[in-house]
Amino acid sequence: MKAYDAIVIGAGLNGLTAAALLARAGWRILVIEQHNEVGGLAGPGILHDHGSLCTKLLAGLRLQDHGLELTRTAAPLHAATGAGERVTLSAEAPAGGLSPDDAEGYRQYRAVCSRTVPLFRKLLLRPVPQRKADFLMLLPCWRSAAARELLHLAPLSAKDFLDQFFVHDALKAALAVPSLQAMYGGPFAPFGALAILMHEAMRGQHVVGGLPALAGVLHEAAASHGVKTRTSTQAEEILVSKAGQACGVRLATGETIATRMVAAACSPKEVFGSLLRFGAQRHMFAWRTRHLRGRGTTAHMVLDAAAPALLPCTRIAPGLEALERSFDRLKRGELPDTFALEIAAGRKAAQLSVLAHCVPYRPKGGWTDAARSELTGRVMEQLLPHLPSTAQVSQLRTPADLENEYRIPGGHCYHLEQAPDQLLVRPVPNFASPVAGLFFCGSGAHPSGSVTCAPGALAARAMAAYQKPLGRLFRNNRHI
Ligand SMILES: Cc1cc2nc3c(=O)[nH]c(=O)nc-3n(C[C@H](O)[C@H](O)[C@H](O)COP(=O)(O)OP(=O)(O)OC[C@H]3O[C@@H](n4cnc5c(N)ncnc54)[C@H](O)[C@@H]3O)c2cc1C
């Protein structure tokens, strides 16, 4: 008998979610994580926005019993509009500093979101339709007025979408940030509105204590259902039997562990790029997966800055045209002069965490020491009017660093770009792969990245459904 029903590769939020749900249904689960702590990207204080947890999908885990605290109140978003000036946006209504036109625009913007977002969320939180019957079941959704509005807005660029509501350019640039993070394109690129609406659709409850707290709670819940976790353990190869069934994992130490199934919470590109050996690669699916796009354009910095003038959750961006020019330079492998910056509180009291968007994955000449200090210098220059002059960058992660540290080919925040062809009509359909018993359960699976935990939860359901004819598991699946 195999030691485990499934091995989960990667202890990020999605890997932990899949592991906990499967273990709750009686599966014997091992999670392996290359780092010495769990949480993946959510661990080290890189992420700023922790308001998108899909609690409904996790209800069975009773995370509150393990210490999860949620709040509906999101921290307001501030957009710097000039040195020392800013406007404030709360989740539902304009809060302060907006001109009457922009305040009215914000009301309209929220009204559009509340009309379209419930449908979009519904579509995202179910598996991608595959069969004719699945499409037919969705037909009533597509007949609604909300669907027509969504189809009308989604192909717009972030600029065309936001121009409909707002006048102030810095405000538009601040609201365009989710599209820069999700896609490979500037604010003039088509489908920026899709990324902005997706960001709105994924908004959920906020985790008190932030994402490291959520990772801790998920880990504890998983352990309470018997999940074993091995940290500082790197998977080197997913073993496939002659019959084409995933049957084990070989670790970097050479040790092999047998299992009936494998759930990869790491990037699908990593799975087909390095974890599977040649035999399993000849499939068209493997070719498609290797060619999925995940070009990262976000860098993370930690700033030591006592008593900063900036409030957490502030976005600083030079305006849409300037951002488009920055993106043009990025495409040519050059370092732009200005970036879209997001500022949040750091892990320690006198620290700030900064996300810089429009940073090339690999600039011409590579990330030499000179290129790294050029990047930090330019970001500091942009931040200077808002920070004390003593502020200093103490840590920098470029997209290439994120690639190396988390094994995300391309270093993209969401493992894969949220382009329309990679989102709703996915070349990696749902969660299964052509290798029997090998599933995807991380951000690269449906419905894609951010801290919803939805890919992990939906993948656990798909794995359980795959096992249905096998009696014992069939009985337990209804709990997932
Ligand atoms: C800079 C940045 C900023 C972001 N900001 C936000 C934000 O503000 N809000 C938001 O909602 N989302 C944000 N995201 C996205 C969010 O972090 C991810 O979508 C989510 O955390 C991914 O969780 P995951 O479990 O799918 O993957 P990950 O967190 O990437 O976990 C995968 C794990 O697998 C491990 N692993 C990989 N390969 C192997 C191997 N061979 N062997 C063993 N272990 C392996 C990795 O070490 C990692 O721990 C951001 C991402 C980045 C990079």
Ligand 1 binding pocket includes 451 (Cβ within 6 Å): yes
**Region of residue 378 (phi > 0: left; psi between -120 and 50: alpha; otherwise: beta):** alpha
Give the list of residues 6+ apart from residue 58 with CB closer than 8 angstroms, or none.
Answer: 17, 21, 453, 457
DSSP single-letter state for residue 398: -
Give the count of beta carbons closer than 10 Å to the beta carbon of residue 385: 13
Which ranges of 238-305 does DSSP label H, i.e. alpha helix?
Answer: 268-270, 284-290
Ligand 1 binding pocket includes 238 (Cβ within 6 Å): no
Ligand 1 binding pocket includes 49 (Cβ within 6 Å): yes
Ligand 1 binding pocket includes 214 (Cβ within 6 Å): no
Domain range annotation of the chain: 4-70+207-293+410-477, 90-202, 298-360+362-397
> Among residues 452, 353, 351, 443, which one has the least CA distance to residue 396?
353
Q: What backbone torsions phi and psi does residue 350 show, to the nearest 5 degrees?
A: -95, 30
pLDDT score recorded for residue 96: 72
Q: Which one of 46, 339, 413, 416 would you pick to mutate in the ligand 1 pocket, going by the greatest count of ligand atoms within 8 A of its CB?
A: 413
Ligand 1 binding pocket includes 450 (Cβ within 6 Å): yes
> Among residues 248, 267, 250, which one has the least CA distance to residue 258?
248
What separation in Å is there between the alpha carbon of 397 and the centre of ligand 1?
14
What separation in Å is there between the alpha carbon of 438 and the centre of ligand 1?
20
- Cis preceding-peptide flag for 447 (omega within 30 of 0): yes
CA distances from 296 to 115, 170, 227 (A): 31, 23, 32
What separation in Å is there between the alpha carbon of 12 and the centre of ligand 1?
6
Q: Measure the CA dihedral 308/313/318/320, to 10°.
A: 180
**298 CA closest ligand 1 atom index:** 1
Q: In a structure prediction context, what are the per-residue pLDDT tens digits for the chain, which is 480 residues long?
A: 678 999 999 999 999 999 999 999 999 999 999 999 999 999 877 888 777 888 889 999 999 999 999 987 777 788 887 666 778 887 666 667 788 999 999 999 999 999 999 999 988 888 777 777 777 777 777 788 999 999 999 999 999 999 999 999 989 999 999 999 999 999 999 999 999 999 999 887 888 888 889 999 999 999 999 999 999 999 999 999 989 899 999 999 999 999 999 999 999 999 988 999 866 666 777 888 888 899 999 999 999 876 556 667 889 999 999 999 999 999 999 999 999 999 988 888 888 899 999 999 999 999 999 999 999 999 999 988 888 778 899 999 999 999 999 999 999 999 999 998 888 656 555 788 888 999 999 999 989 888 899 999 999 999 998 877 654 443 333 334
> Tokens in use for 351?
């620290």
**444 CA closest ligand 1 atom index:** 26
pLDDT score recorded for residue 219: 98
The residue written with tokens 């976790």 in the block is 229
pLDDT score recorded for residue 404: 96
Handedness of CA 262, 265, 267, 270 (dihedral sign): negative
What separation in Å is there between the alpha carbon of 426 and the centre of ligand 1?
20
**Can you tell me the distance from the alpha carbon of 407 to that of 236, in angstroms, rounded to the nearest whole number?**
12
**40 CA closest ligand 1 atom index:** 49
Q: What backbone torsions phi and psi does residue 426 show, to the nearest 5 degrees?
A: -85, 140
**Beta strand pairing status for 314-316 and 298-304?**
unpaired
Look at domain 4-70+207-293+410-477 and name its CATH class. alpha beta
What separation in Å is there between the alpha carbon of 57 and the centre of ligand 1?
19
Q: Measure the CA dihedral 224/226/230/235, to 10°.
A: -130
pLDDT score recorded for residue 184: 97
CA distances from 409 to 28, 186, 270, 366 (A): 30, 21, 6, 16
Residue 240: strand pairing partners = 246
**Beta strand pairing status for 77-82 and 314-316?**
parallel
**Can you tell me the distance from the alpha carbon of 130 to that of 146, in angstroms, rounded to the nearest whole number?**
23
Residue count (the chain)? 480
Cβ–Cβ < 8 Å for 420, 182? no
Q: Which one of 58, 253, 266, 379 would you pick to mutate in the ligand 1 pocket, going by the greatest count of ligand atoms within 8 A of its CB?
A: 266
Cβ–Cβ < 8 Å for 261, 246? yes
**Can you tell me the distance from the alpha carbon of 383 to that of 406, in angstroms, rounded to the nearest whole number?**
28
Kindly write down the DSSP assignment for every residue of 92-118, as one continuous string: SSEEES--HHHHHHHHHHHHHHHHHHH
**38 CA closest ligand 1 atom index:** 49
